[in-house]
């Protein structure tokens, strides 16, 4: 059925002070599994390979996630057709399939279904407020029809566009979360995180926060600034955090997309499960209660969040039956030196090596410094031409 069997909504849970664990980054996880193409990053797999999407939802649910986000990221028709990206399915078919899969799995456990909208190519190309809002209106039709539990406006680099999204999402009467992909320096127009948060709450968001683009440490800094801004303005909100599973101490204002390793050589930066426990604890201590993940998060990362916060939540996720607390299951190992690692102080203090002696620990981001309205960001339906690519290659050669 379309009705969630859990009657307790997102706001009831957060109002009660409960921890809500978000799921991980489907686009990246499914790209690694061979179901998503990097570049367009569109979610046609929901219609093409529903079994793959369903299985990933199940793994995140088993790992302790309380939210199943519909795999609808970027499935607006302007994005699906952008740069010659040909589709066998319409945006509506993909989005309906995605909603059904998320609901099916959410009903297998204690999870809520969230429908999401993200920043649009149209905004980058300086289309009007009405044109951009029309895209969001079209996207939420399916979320209303499929009766998702709440809505998320996530992955916005400009707070203005996020405000427009929140205003549209509010018209459904469902709870609305708003998540920007910005760092402590603010959005791409340099609106501070505190001011961004105030604007989103005033636009009608119940939950505000940060997702993607930066590691947990950086996202945590940014959400704390948002919390200060909201408090200073005398407003109230819940806060969410869904960072990358990659260490990004060297990122500029546009986050990991500017790193030379993006997107195919990020593996050396992946957080361990122990890094994730530290993140979960720090987020909780900061007063954030919606704690999840974005690109790079695999189910074992999500399980680490749930395990770290098990004392507060009063239970472990199902997936913990195959995982001892802080490596305790290693006590069953045949080798005595591995058995000796079955303890918290070993894993918590370990400095893992990358095994790459010729590699630096930090990179220099690209930072081309272009934002909304710049000719390089005008989006088009035709495939990127050889001349356009050559110009980009030349530009990259000169910047290094």
Distance between CA atoms of residues 380 and 377, nearest Å = 9
Is pLDDT of 115 > 80?
yes
Q: Is pLDDT above 80 for 83?
A: no
Please report whether residue 108 resides in a domain.
yes
Q: Which of 294, 304, 299, 300 is nearest to 25 (CA)?
A: 294
Annotated binding site for Zn(2+): 212, 294-295
385 assigned to some structural domain? no
CB atoms within 10 A of CB 102: 29
Encode pLDDT of 318-355 as tens digits. Answer: 999 999 999 999 999 999 999 999 999 999 999 999 99
What is the percentage of the chain residues whose pLDDT exceeds 70? 90
Residue 28's domain is classified under what CATH number?
Answer: 3.20.20.330
Binding residues: 212, 294-295
CB atoms within 10 A of CB 185: 13
Q: Is the pLDDT of residue 65 over 70?
A: yes
Contact predicate 367/258, CB 8 Å = yes
State both tokens at 87.
Answer: 């589709």
DSSP-derived pairing of the beta strands 238-242 and 20-21: unpaired
Whether 362 is in a domain gets the answer: no
Torsion, Cα 29 32 33 39, to 10 degrees, reads: 90
Q: Is 240 helix (H, G, I), strand (E, B) or coil?
A: strand
Q: Of 29-33, 36-40, 197-201, 389-393, which gets the smallest average pLDDT? A: 389-393
Range of the domain at 136: 10-325
* Total count of domains within the chain: 1
Q: Is residue 374 a part of any domain in this protein?
A: no
Specify if 361 maps to a domain: no
Distance CA 339, CA 212 (A): 36
pLDDT in tens, 141-163: 999 999 999 999 999 999 999 99
Residue 246 lies in a domain: yes
Question: Is pLDDT of 1 > 90?
Answer: no
Residue at 39 is within a domain: yes
What confidence tens digit (pLDDT) does each residue in 176-188 have?
999 999 999 999 9
Residue 369 lies in a domain: no
């Amino acid at each position: 059925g379309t009705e969630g069997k859990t009657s307790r909504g997102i706001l009831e849970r957060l109002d009660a002070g409960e921890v809500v664990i978000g799921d991980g980054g489907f686009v990246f996880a499914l790209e690694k599994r061979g179901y998503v193409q990097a570049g367009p990053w569109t979610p046609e797999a929901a219609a093409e390979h529903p079994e793959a999407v369903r299985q990933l939802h199940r793994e995140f649910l088993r790992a302790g996630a309380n939210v199943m986000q519909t795999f609808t990221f970027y499935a607006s028709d302007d994005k699906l057709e952008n740069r010659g990206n040909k589709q066998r399915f319409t945006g509506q078919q993909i989005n309906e399939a995605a909603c059904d899969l998320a609901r099916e799995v959410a009903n297998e456990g204690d999870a809520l279904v969230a429908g999401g909208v993200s920043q649009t190519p149209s905004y980058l190309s300086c289309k009007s407020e009405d044109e951009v809002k029309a895209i969001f209106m079209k996207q939420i039709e399916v979320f209303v029809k499929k009766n998702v539990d709440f809505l998320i406006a996530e992955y916005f680099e400009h707070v203005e566009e996020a405000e427009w999204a929140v205003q549209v999402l509010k018209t459904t009467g469902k709870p609305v979360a708003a998540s920007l992909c910005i760092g402590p320096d603010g959005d791409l127009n340099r609106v501070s995180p505190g001011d961004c948060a105030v604007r989103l709450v005033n636009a009608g968001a119940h939950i505000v926060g940060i997702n993607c683009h930066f590691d947990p440490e950086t996202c945590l800094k940014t959400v704390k600034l948002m919390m200060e801004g909201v408090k200073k303005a005398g407003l109230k909100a819940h806060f969410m955090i869904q960072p990358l599973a990659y260490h990004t101490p060297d990122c500029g204002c546009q986050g990991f997309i500017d790193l030379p390793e993006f997107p195919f050589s990020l593996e050396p930066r992946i957080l361990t499960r122990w890094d994730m426990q530290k993140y979960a604890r720090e987020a909780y201590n900061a007063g954030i209660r919606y704690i999840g993940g974005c690109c790079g998060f695999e189910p074992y990362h999500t399980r680490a969040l749930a395990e770290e916060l098990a004392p507060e939540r009063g239970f472990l996720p199902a997936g913990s039956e195959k995982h001892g607390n802080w490596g305790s299951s290693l006590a069953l190992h045949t080798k005595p030196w591995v058995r000796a690692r079955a303890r918290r102080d070993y894993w918590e203090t370990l400095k893992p090596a990358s095994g790459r002696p010729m590699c630096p620990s930090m990179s220099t981001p690209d930072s081309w410094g272009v934002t909304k309205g710049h000719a390089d960001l005008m989006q088009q339906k035709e495939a990127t031409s050889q001349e356009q690519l050559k110009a980009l290659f030349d530009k990259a050669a000169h910047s290094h």
